[in-house]
């Protein structure tokens, strides 16, 4: 009787494990290639990105957005934010 219960529990566990697995999403190209402190993406607005570097400004808004959501797409690149 214990073997049947154990076998049933193992079968249920094996059958439900794939359904409980969370999908793993990769980083967006914008988060993967960001430059620390630069809120612009060089792939969407190269002039703003390079101008920000030239001025030596610091804004961690892109860094923070990518930390919270690795698949983040900036609004200047057609994202929803």
Tens digit of each residue's pLDDT (9 = 90 or more) over 11-60: 766 666 565 555 556 778 888 888 888 888 888 888 988 888 788 778 88
79 falls within a domain: no
Overall domain count for the chain: 1
Asked, for residue 22, whether it belongs to a domain, the answer is: yes
Distant-in-sequence, close-in-space partners of 30: CB < 8 Å, separation ≥ 6: 41, 43, 44, 62, 66, 72, 73, 74, 77
Mean pLDDT within 61-69: 89
Residue 81 lies in a domain: no
pLDDT of residue 54: 83
Q: Which domain holds residue 29?
A: 2-74
């Amino acid at each position: 009787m214990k073997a049947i219960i154990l076998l049933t529990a193992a079968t249920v566990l094996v059958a439900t494990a794939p359904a409980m697995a969370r999908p793993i999403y990769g980083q967006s190209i914008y988060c993967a290639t960001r430059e620390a402190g630069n809120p612009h993406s060089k792939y969407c607005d190269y002039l703003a990105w390079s101008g920000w570097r030239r001025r030596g400004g610091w804004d961690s808004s892109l860094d923070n957005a990518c930390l919270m959501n690795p698949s983040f797409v900036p609004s200047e690149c057609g994202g929803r934010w």
